[in-house]
Structure 1
Amino acid sequence: MNRRIQLLSIIFLGFSSVAFSQIKEEKLILNKKREPEVKKIEKKKTSVETIKNYPPEEKSQNPVKYTITDVPAVSDFKTSTIQGEDVAPKFDGTAQNNYVQFGMGNFGKILADANISTTLENKIEVGADVHVLSTQGLKKDYAWDSKQSNATIGAFLNSYGDKGKFNVNAEYGLNNYNYYGIYALEPASDVDLKQKVNQFKVNGYYDFYSNEILNDVRVKSSFLKDHFDAQENQVSILANFSKHGVEVGKSGINLNADLGVGLESVKTDFAIRDKNLASFFNTNLAPKVTFRKGDSYLMLGSSFSFLNAKNSNDFFAEQLKSNKTYWFPQAEFQFAAANEFKFYGGVDGGLKLNTYSDLLQQNPFIVSDQYLKPTETKYHFYVGLRGDIDETFKYDISAGYGKMRDIVFFKANDLFGNDYTLNRSAYNFANTFSAVYDDGNVSDIKGSIQYFPLENLILDGEVRFAKYDLKNYENIYNVPLLNASIGAKYTMLDKKLLLGFKGIFASDRTTNSFAIEGVGSPMLYQSTEDTNDKVGGYADLNLSAEYKIHKNFSIFALGNNLLSSKYQTYKGYKVLGAQILGGVKITF
C-alpha cells in the first residue's frame, strides 16, 4: 500500500509540471539560512519565534494566527533571488546549519553559495553568508549584452541573554545587469546598456523575552548608490512598548496593551535627467488594545503619522516642502467557533514611503531619476475565514476593499531625445520605466491552503485577485489581475531524496509602449504611444531534487521554466528559457 502511495505521489509531481504549463524563468533555489520566501499559511506566534533558551511561556499571550506572506509571484530574467521565489524545498530537522554549495547550468549560469556560523562563549553566535549568481543572458535573442550577476556578502551576530536576545547583521549587495529590453529600435551589438547597484545594509534588533513595558527595538539602515550616481540613505527605528496578560475581572478575558513608536528618515538624490531630490522624515505612533478569550479576540487601535517631505528638481526654482498629519484606523476581530472555523475581519491603513531601493526591488529597469512620494492607504476593510482541520488541512480565505492615494506603479518611458542617432545613453532606448501615481480603490480576494495527505508529502496553493479602479488612468500598468501558485514537497528513500515542485501563474498585464520611426529631413525620431498594450500572462513551472549521498554531502538538480516560454516580465524584457542547473552541497 505504501508503495502505491509513493508511486501516486511521484506521478502527481510529474503530472503537475505538464498540466499547468507556459512559463517564465524561476529564481535559483538556494538552501539559505534566511527565511524562505514562499507564500504559505504559517502557524506561528505573532511575536518572535522560540529559539534556543527563548522562554515560550512568557510570550504566550500573543495570538496564534494564520498569515499569508506576500512575495512577488514573478520569476523574471533577473538572476537575483530577492525578486523571485525560493522554490526548492528544504530537508527538515537537519542539525547542520553550515554549508557550502556550488552549481552550474545552461545560459552560463554559475552558483556559489555558503552559510557558516559558530557559537562562542556566553551563547554568542557569529557567522557569514555569501551568495553569488551569474548568467550570460539571452545571446540568441538579443544582439546586445543581456548578462547579469548578483552577489551578496553578509555577516551576523546573535546573542541569547537572560532577559532577551540581540541580533545585528551587515550585508553588502552588488547587482550588475543591463537595460536589455529594447523593442522599438535596433542598436549595435556593442551598445552600452550597463546598470549597477551597490547597497550596504546594517540592521540591529533586540527582543525582550517578557512583554513588560519595552517589548522590542529594531534599527535598520541602508546606503545605496548606482552606476548613474544616484544615492539614497535610509534609517528607521521602531520600538514596541507593551503590557500583556492583564486579567479583566473574573471574566476569563485578558487585555494586551501595545504602543509602537517609529521614526524613519530617507534622502534620495538623483544625478541625471531632471535630477530629482527627495527627503522624508516620518514619525509614527500606533497604540492598540486587544481583548482576548481563548482563540477569540477584539483589537482596537489607531495609527498616526507625522510626515515632513521635501522635493526638488531642475524644473523647480524652490524646494517643495510639506508637513502633514495622517490618521488611520486599526481594528480586528476573530470569532473562533472551532479550530476548523475562525471568522475574522477588520480595517487597517497606513503610510508607505516609496524609496528608490524599494522600487528597484519591484522593477530593476526603472530609470535612475524618479519623483518619489508616499502611498497612503486611507482604509482597507477585510473579512475572512481560516481554520485547521485535524492538522491536515489549513486554509485562509479573505476579501477586502480599500481606498488609496498615490498608488505607485510603473509606466514605460519614451525616448528622452528625438535626435536620429543610436549613440544614446543606456536608458535612452525606450527601454526603461518610471514610477507613476494615481488615486483609486482596490478590491481584493485571496486564499491560501496547505494539505498534508501523508507524513512525507506537503501540498500548498495560493491565489490572489486584485482589481484597481483608478481616478486618472484607465488601467494600472504592469500589475496582473490574478496571481496564483501551487507547490509540492515529497521526501522518500528514508528521507534521503527530496523532490519539489512549484508552479507560479499570472494573468495578462496591460502596459504602455512606443512605436518609433524616423521622419523628416533632417531625420528625427517620432514616437507613437500605445496606452493599451498587453504583455501577456504566464505559467512558470519548476522542479527540484536533492539526494543525500552522505549526511555531509548531497547532490542537487534544479529545473526552471521547464516549458521554455520566452514571456516578458516588462515590455521588452524576455526571461530565460528552460534552465537546468546541477551541483553539489557540503554540510558540516
Structure 2
Amino acid sequence: MNKKVQIISLLFLGISQVAFSQIKEEKLILDRKREPEVRKIEKKKTSVETIKNYPPEEKSQNPVNYNLTNVPAASDFATSTIEGEDISPQLGSDYQDNYLQFGMGNFGKVLFDGSVSYILESKTEVGTDAHVLSTSGLKGDYPWDSNSSRVDLGAFLNSYGEKGKFNATAGFGSHDYNYYGIYALQPDANTNLKQQVQNITLNGYYDHYSNEILNDIRLKTSFLSDKFDAKETYGGLDLNLSKHGMNFPLEGVKLHADLGLGLETLDTAFELLSQNNSNFIEGYAEPKLSFYRGKSYLMIGSGFSFLNSKTQNNLLAESTSRSKTYWFPRAEIFFAGSEMANLYLGVDGGLQHNSYASMLQENPYLVSDQVIRPTETKYRVYFGIRGDISQDLKYDVSAGFAKVNDILFYRSNGLFTPENTLNRPAYDFANTFSATYDNGSVNEVKASLQYFPLENLVLDGNVNYNFYRLNNFEDILNKPLIRAELGAKYTLLDKKLLLGFKGLFAGEQKTNYFAVEQDPLVPDNFEVTEFMDGKVKGFADLNLSAEYKAHRNVSVFVMGNNLLNNSYESHNAYRVLGAQFLAGLKVTF
C-alpha cells in the first residue's frame, strides 16, 4: 500500500458520527438502519419517513451485505428518503444490530444513543431506538440561555410474507431550545427564551414483491405541537400500481406502465399574533409510460393534482377558500452511450406542501405563527451527464431551470409590540423568522463525485449552486447560493480502527435585520428600523472522528467538530458552537 496515500488518508478521514456543529441540531449519533432494496421515484412530501427493512430471501439472491455509511450527524433521527432510497446509516457485517453508546464533551455535551431489535419469528422483527443529546450552549458568549436538548424515541415492526413485506414505525421527538439570537436589544440573564417542539409520527408501508399491478402502499401520519400551542396534523396515503416488462412492437424494447395515486391532508393552527389557520386537501394521479432498450429509456408521463385549500387570519377575521386543478409535465430520456458518459434530460413539476414541521427542519427559530402555502413548480427542465470514468471514479453533473410559484424562504421579524420594555415574550426580541413567499425562477447546477483509490478508502464530494430571480425581492433571504460537502472514510488494522472526515461549506447569504432604539417622539415606545443589506457570512466546518474496536463487543470513540473554531452563524445572529470534542464508549450485543 502506498505510504503517502496512507498518511494523507489518516489526516482527512472519518466514520459515521461526524456532526454539523450547530446548537439547534448537533446529533453526534450513529443511527442504524438496514440496507434498502428498491429505488423508486416518489413525490416530495411534507414529512420524511423511516423504513427499517432488509431484503427477504424471496427478493435477494445473495446474503444481506451491511456496509458502514457516513451520514452527517445533522441528519434527523428519522432520516429522510431521496427518491425512495434510504440514506440512513448502515452497520458493517461484523457489527451486531443491537448497541448502546454514551459520550461526553465540552460545551456540556451529553450523548446517549441506542438501538435494540428482536426476532420474534424467522420473518418478523420488532425493535426500538433512543437518541438523546444535550448541550449547555454558549454560556461565555451570551448572558441568557442558549442551551438545547433533543430526545427521539422510535419503535418498528417488520414482517415478511410470501407476497410482500410490511413495515410499521412509530416515533416521538422532543426538541427543547432557546431563541437566543438577540442582536438589537440587551435583556438580562433571566430572560425566558424557551421554545419546545414535539412531534409524533406513525407510518405504515407494504411492498409487493412482484410489482405486478400492485407495487406498494404507504401511509404517513404526524402530529406536531409546540410551547405556544401551535398544532399541526398531517396525513398521506400513496398507492403505486405498475405493470413492468411488457412486450412492445419494436425489437428489443420493453414497456413499463406505472400509475401513482395519492391523497394528502395538512391542517395547521396557531394561537399567537395573527392566529393563522390553514387546511389543505390534495388528491393526485401520476401516470407514466417508460420504454426501455438496454440501459437506455424514454419516460413520458403527467402529474394531475386537485387542491382544496382554506386559510384564515383570526386577528383580521379574514378567510379564503379555493379549489384548483393542476397539470404538470413529466418526461425523461436517458442515453446509455458508454460506461464513461451517459446523457439524460427531462422535465418535471409538482406541488410541494410546506408544513410548519418541514419549515422547522430548515429553520427552528420561526415564530409560532406562520402563513402556510404549497410551493408550485410549474415546470423544471434539466439535463446532465453521469458515468464511471473507471471502477474507482464515479461522477454526476447536471443543470436545470425552473419556473416556480410561492418559492419559500425566511425573513427576519422585528418587534411585535412597540412598548419600550424588556419584559417580552421569548419570540419578541427581533430574534425570530417568518415564512415568506415569492414567484420567480431558479437556476441550479449540481455535481457529485465518488472516488475509491483503495479498497478500504472512500472519498466523496458534492456541490450545489442555486440562483433565484424573484418577482418582488431583489435577493432571496437567508438561503446560501452555494453549498458543498467533502467526506471520506477509512478503515485499517483489520477494520478495528475507523477514521473519518467531513467538511461542510456554504457561501454567504443575504438577510434583513433591524435597529431598535427609543422613539424620540414617544419615549414609551421603541422605534424600529428595517435594513435589507445584511449578510450572513459563509463558513467552512471541518470535522474528524475515530472509533477503535477494543473488543468484539466494546468500542471507544472520539470526535472533533468545527475544528477551525469558526464562530459562524447558522442563521442571522445565531452563532454556532466553537471547536468541540466528545469521547465515549459503545457496547454492541
TM-score, scaled relative to structure 2: 0.91
Q: Which moved more, 1:91-100 or 1:513-522?
A: 91-100
Q: Look up the SS of the partner of 1:461 in the other structure.
A: strand
1:29 Cα deviation (Å)?
3.2
Q: 1:34 to 1:118 in 2, by over 3 A?
A: same
1:389 Cα deviation after fit: 3.1
Contact 1:182–1:430 (CA<8 Å) still a contact in 2? yes
Letter of the 1:53 partner, please give it.
E
Other-structure match for 2:57: 53
TM-superposition CA deviations, 1:391-421 (whole Å, max 9, x none): 3111100000000000010000010011000
> How big is each residue's C-alpha offset from its partner over 1:279-328, in whole Å with a ceiling of 9 and x where there is no partner?
00000110000001111000000001100000001244352100000100
Q: What is the CA–CA distance in structure 2 between the aligned matches of 1:110 and 1:54, rounded to whole Å?
A: 43
2:577 corresponds in structure 1 to 576
The reply to whether residue 120 of structure 1 matches residue 124 of structure 2 is no
1:551-570 to structure 2, matched below 5 A, reads 551-570=552-571
1: CA distance, partners of 2:368 / 2:12: 46
Deviation at 1:7, TM superposition (A): 2.7
**Structure 1 counterpart SS, 2:28:** coil
Structure 2 counterpart SS, 1:523: coil
CA distance in 2: counterparts of 1:243 and 1:513, whole angstroms: 55
Give the corresponding residue for 1:411: 411
Structure 2 distance, partners of 1:313, 1:454, is 60
Other-structure match for 2:31: 32
Q: Is the 8 A contact 2:515 2:530 kept in 1?
A: yes
**Are the equivalent residues in 1 in contact too, given 2:21–2:577 (CA < 8 A)?**
no
Aligned Cα root-mean-square deviation (Å): 2.6
Structure 1, residues 523-574: CA drift from partner, whole Å, max 9, x if none? 3211111112001100010001010011211001111111111111111100
Alpha-carbon shift at residue 463 of structure 1 (Å)? 0.4
Equivalent residues in 2 for 1:366-515, closer than 5 Å: 366-515=366-515
Partner residue, 1:39: none
Contact 1:335 1:342 in 2 (8 A): yes
Matches within 5 A, 1:87-166: 92-166=92-166
Query: CA separation in 2, counterparts of 1:84 and 1:479?
Result: 20
Distance in 1 (alpha carbons) for counterparts of 2:267 and 2:21: 39
Larger RCO (CA under 8 A, 6+ residues apart): 1
SS at match of 2:364: coil
Note the C-alpha offset of 1:126.
0.1
Q: Sort the Cα spacing of 1:24 and 1:308 in 2 relative to 1 into closer, same or farther, 3 A.
A: closer
- Offset at 1:10? 1.9
CA apart distance, 1:176: 0.6
Look up the match of 2:48: none
Paired with 2:12 and 2:115, the residues of 1 have a C-alpha distance of 33
Q: Is the contact between residue 13 and residue 487 of structure 2 (CA under 8 Å) also seen in structure 1?
A: no
- CA gap of 1:91–1:497, structure 2 versus 1, over 3 A, is farther
* 1:295/1:206 CA distance change after superposition, 3 Å: same
Q: Alpha carbons of 1:91 and 1:120: their partners in 2 closer, same or farther (altered >3 Å)?
A: closer
For residues 429 and 369 of structure 1, do their structure 2 counterparts lie closer, same or farther at Cα, with a shift above 3 Å needed? same
Distance 1:523 1:470 in 2: 39
Secondary structure of the residue aligned to 1:185 is: coil
Q: Secondary structure at the match of 1:225?
A: strand
2:277 corresponding residue in structure 1? 277
- 2:545 corresponds to which residue? 544
SS in 1 for 2:9: helix
Question: In structure 2, what is the Cα distance between the partners aligned to 1:250 and 1:528?
Answer: 69
Letter of the 1:413 counterpart: N
CA distance in 2, matches of 1:256, 1:381: 23
C-alpha distance in 2 between matches for 1:178 and 1:453: 45
Contact (CA 8 Å) 1:501, 1:542: kept in 2 or not? yes
Deviation at 1:93, TM superposition (A): 2.3
Superimposed CA distance per residue, residues 118-161 of structure 1 (whole angstroms, 9 cap, x where no aligned partner): 11125110000000000000000110011100001111000011
Q: 2:351 maps to what in 1?
A: 351
Return the alpha-carbon distance in structure 1 between the equivalents of residues 318 and 555 of structure 2. Answer: 62
Distance (whole Å) between structure 2 residues aligned to residue 104 and residue 460 of structure 1: 29
Shift of 1:338: 1.1
Are residues 523 and 507 of structure 1, via their aligned partners in 2, closer, same or farther at CA, if it must alter by over 3 Å? Answer: same
Amino acid of the structure 2 residue aligned with 1:492:
L
Give secondary structure in 1 for the equivalent of 2:494.
Answer: coil
The amino acid across from 2:552 in the alignment is K
Contact 1:478/1:511 (<8 A) preserved: yes
Where does structure 1 lack aligned partners over 5 or more consecutive residues? 15-21, 37-41, 58-68
1:338 is paired with a residue of what secondary structure?
coil
Q: Could you say which residue in structure 1 is the equivalent of 2:222?
A: 222
- The aligned runs of 1:243-392 (5 Å cut-off) are 243-249=243-249, 251-392=251-392
Q: Percent identity?
A: 52
**TM-superposed deviation, 1:390:** 3.3
- 1:462 alignment partner, SS class: strand
